[in-house]
Amino acid sequence: MSSLIDPILVAVLLLNLFALGNSRIMTVIRVVGVQGALLGILPLLVHEHFGLLPLVVSLLTVALKGLVIPFMLLRAMREAQIRREVAPSVGFLPSMILGAFSIGFSVLLAQELPMTQAHLGLLLVPASLSTVLIGFIMLTTRYKAISQVVGYLILENGIFIFGMLLVEAMPLMVELGVLLDLFVGIFVITIIVNHINEAFSSMDTRKLSALKE
């Protein structure tokens, strides 16, 4: 089963780059939804024994990351009637290249960190670190509030990947706490996004510029 882990992670990385290079926000949200659903399979693969708990975690992840959150974001978008990210501070192609660099950097960094025997050769650490970095790139270079939320989601996905290394060692309570927390965080953020939309008739965070030195 664990031979499936690396192909999934490669797909996740490709989706990252695709999300960075796409200007249609609808597409980007769907891409991140697919990414979340793919990640939902991981808990089933990393557990050595098939049991009820990994199944529950897996189903919850797919439901939250793959369905509920993308649905909430898409609904917020439809109400705001925006389609495209306009002119990010770093262009789509340059940010894709930056993303590719971050993957290389993560591979180098991961080599510095010692792994246990069971995890040697797996892509979990570099995939996790580069997904975190790509989420960070998205957060800092995009102007639409929704795009920034998507960047945050990608960052959370990166952390989720790292969590897979600890699935056996950590109590399930913490895993569920993480999912719950993500859900609540996104929930509150979506509410605020709607308020931004009402107050400024746009979700462009460049309009949020009254507060600065």
Using CB under 8 A, list all residues that contact another protein: 112-116, 132, 136, 139, 145, 148, 152, 155-156, 158-159, 162-163, 165-166, 169-171, 173-174, 177-178, 181, 184-185, 188-189, 192, 195-196, 199-200, 205, 208-211, 213
Closest separation between CB of residue 117 and another protein, Å? 10
Handedness of CA 53, 56, 62, 64 (dihedral sign): negative
Paired tokens of 177: 């706490």
Place of tokens 């246990």: 116
Q: Closer CB to another protein, residue 7 or residue 188? A: 188
CA 203 distance to own-chain centroid: 20
Closer to another protein by Cβ: residue 28 or 125: 125
Minimum CB separation of residue 96 from another protein in Å reads 21
Question: For the residues of 86-132, what is the DSSP string, one character each?
Answer: ---SS-HHHHHHHHHHHHHHHHHHHHHS---GGGTT-SHHHHHHHHH
Between 93 and 111, CB nearer to another protein:
111
Nearest-approach distance from CB 157 to another protein, in angstroms: 10
- Comparison of 92 and 162: residue with beta carbon closer to another protein: 162
- What span, in angstroms and rounded, lies between the C-alpha atoms of 56 and 87? 41
Residue 93 or 177: the one with the smaller Cβ distance to another protein is 177
* Complex with another protein: residue 86 or 180, whichever CB lies closer: 180
Minimum CB separation of residue 155 from another protein in Å reads: 6
How many CB atoms neighbour CB 210 within 10 A? 5
Are 25 and 83 in contact by the 8 Å Cβ rule? The answer is yes
- How many Å apart are CA 166 and CA 79, to the nearest integer? 40
Closest approach, Cβ 160 to another protein, in A, equals 10
Shortest Å, Cβ 24 to another protein: 22
| 21 CB burial (10 A radius; 0-12, 13-18, 19+) | middle
What is the Cα–Cα distance from 145 to 142, expressed in whole angstroms?
8
